[in-house]
Chain A
């Protein structure tokens, strides 16, 4: 009966009530979507590389090594010599290793030289492998495999020719040695999408006539001769390593860090990703903070609306009292009202959120490589609603208590 009457009462004030619910729903949705994007971004981010136990590069900070070896951001301060690489992989702890060589680019996308093993060893999002969408892996010396975003932006098809530029923004190009698109990777949501992958030998090949970062004038070795040369690289930028047993990771890491021939660093990608997230994640925390403030602002708005309606509802309170309702019932009625409003807001914000996600998910995935999972709420997210409703009840206690006192003092003498 009380619930039904409260619903009638809310319905009678449907315009103010629905505007209030709308405002609260929007702010709740804002909070939830920020939270959703944050968790999805975190999941995508920390899963950018998985099942790689160590990344080795020249002596540098772990974040920098991670940035250039995985995210293709920034540059290696130094290279590793091929001899050191061979020393490292000859260790008994090493199960597999994938050397990578960076430094060149193609129309703004980074070019990475690596071995065919990269395609089987590089894992992301909890062990997913890279898959070829079209064409095939690196076969010929001048084959290139493109990440999904590269293809999307530049519109390459299998068999298209492609020229690699020297350095990152250099105008000098390796025009004498054109490549051919042999494969296109499926979208991964990782930096691999923005990578142009060639073989390690190809990197060596295009630099045959180059020394100290510039092309030696007059020298132009024909492609046929290059193909017959020994193209084992002299330097590489880094190595991805998998070990036989997880217990050996730290032993191998210490060995690499103490390697005497040249200064090297070995990092645990998981740990480095967490470190990097702590830097990047600040922005998300700020957003969360803002949305919490927005929620509280709307809650205070709701309270203000209840407060301002109290005076005109004193007559109603007197009627309730005359019919035998105790002041506690009056308090309960207002709390029930706040509960209904906040509960409806929770439900509507959920609907808003899912609509928004369904509309925006493909766009976010394509633009930012963050796959937002559209799934039912986790316990954590549901607890947000519980906390929100509790907060709404707590804050509506203020007008409810005021109504309580008014109804005690007014009794049956109301002046309208």
Chain B
């Protein structure tokens, strides 16, 4: 399993309005199935890097390749479609549409990705199975997302990111709003589920103590070149 999933080559980016912030990533490779922890202080450009990989923003120069696709060469519409097909995203918190039922939240990515929904024979059952393996009680499926505890909400977000087997899961400090015990439960459940799905995980955090869970830890300071 040494096929490369993410390959970044001489990437350059800066926000237009805030041009003293500049991000350069000369080279970064992540293999398929790897679980990577990306460590960095806040403001170090972690989230910007994630946004670039997800194709929310485009680099000034350089290349980002996901699988066989050079996402910086796609237009905005195709980037959106590519993201829907290939990437599951978990935020720090407030991951879910608060007014929608848990089950709808989990199924929604399938609505935007034919590729992901075509992998499932019975999406509804798959969603229930995911809930089950993530230890979400049966009755939560029809509850409004906003009525769940934060820990449960984060697990629903994992189910949503995983449904339809996207090749890459991106998590932006998903544990920062959880207490220590909830954090451990959450990480254990997430890891076992990601392993089962054989997805690649790129998780961002500022907490080095999480490193044990991961195959590899990358410190953001080691891969970026900053020029003020």
Contacts and interface: CB of A to CB of B under 8 A. Distances in A.
* Secondary structure call for the A interface: helix
* Secondary structure call for the B interface: helix
Contacts of B91: 318-319, 322, 412
Given A8-B100, A325-B80, 20 more contacts: A5-B97, A5-B99, A5-B100, A9-B97, A9-B99, A12-B98, A12-B99, A315-B94, A320-B97, A324-B81, A324-B112, A324-B113, A325-B84, A326-B77, A412-B56, A412-B91, A412-B172, A413-B47, A413-B48, A416-B94
A319 B113 CA distance: 15
Contacts of B101: 8
B35 interface: no
Interface of B: 47-48, 50-51, 54, 56-57, 76-77, 80-81, 83-85, 89, 91, 94-101, 104, 107-109, 111-113, 144, 146, 160, 172
Contacts of B85: 324
A353 B54 CA distance: 52
Interface of A: 1-2, 4-5, 8-9, 11-12, 315-316, 318-327, 329, 408, 411-413, 416
A331 to B, nearest CB: 13
Contacts of B84: 323-325
B99 A412 contact: no
B217 to A, nearest CB: 22
Contacts of A4: 104
A8 B112 CA distance: 19
A329 to B, nearest CB: 8
A319 B95 CA distance: 6
Contacts of A323: 84, 89, 108-109, 112, 160
12 contacts: A5-B104, A8-B97, A318-B91, A319-B97, A322-B54, A323-B84, A323-B89, A324-B81, A326-B77, A326-B80, A411-B51, A412-B89
Contacts of A327: 76, 80
Contacts of B81: 324, 326
Nearest to A325: B112
Which of B50, B83, B101 is most buried by chain A, counting CB atoms within 10 A of its CB?
B83
A35 to B, nearest CB: 37
Contact of B99 (A11, A325, A329): A11
Contact of B54 (A2, A319, A411): A411
A324 B83 CA distance: 6
A8 B99 contact: yes
B170 to A, nearest CB: 9
A12 B47 CA distance: 30
A321 B85 CA distance: 13
Given A1-B104, A412-B47, A412-B50, A321 B94 contact: no
A411 B89 CA distance: 12
A324 B56 contact: no
A319 B96 contact: yes
Nearest to B77: A326
A142 to B, nearest CB: 79
A174 B89 CA distance: 98
Contacts of A322: 54, 89, 91
Nearest to B96: A319
Which of B56, B57, B81, B95 is most buried by chain A, counting CB atoms within 10 A of its CB?
B56
B179 to A, nearest CB: 20
Contacts of A316: 97-98
B104 A412 contact: no
A321 B97 CA distance: 12
A285 to B, nearest CB: 44
A315 B111 CA distance: 20
A408 B79 CA distance: 12
A1 B112 CA distance: 11
A325 B81 CA distance: 8
A412 B97 contact: no
Contacts of B98: 12, 316
A321 B109 CA distance: 10
Nearest to A2: B111
Contact of A411 (B57, B113, B144): B57
A315 B95 CA distance: 8
A411 B104 contact: no
B51 A413 contact: yes
A182 B115 CA distance: 89
The 8 A-B pairs with the shortest beta carbon distances in the complex, nearest first, are A324-B84, A411-B56, A324-B112, A12-B99, A322-B89, A326-B80, A8-B99, A411-B51
Contacts of B104: 1, 4-5, 8
Contacts of A318: 91
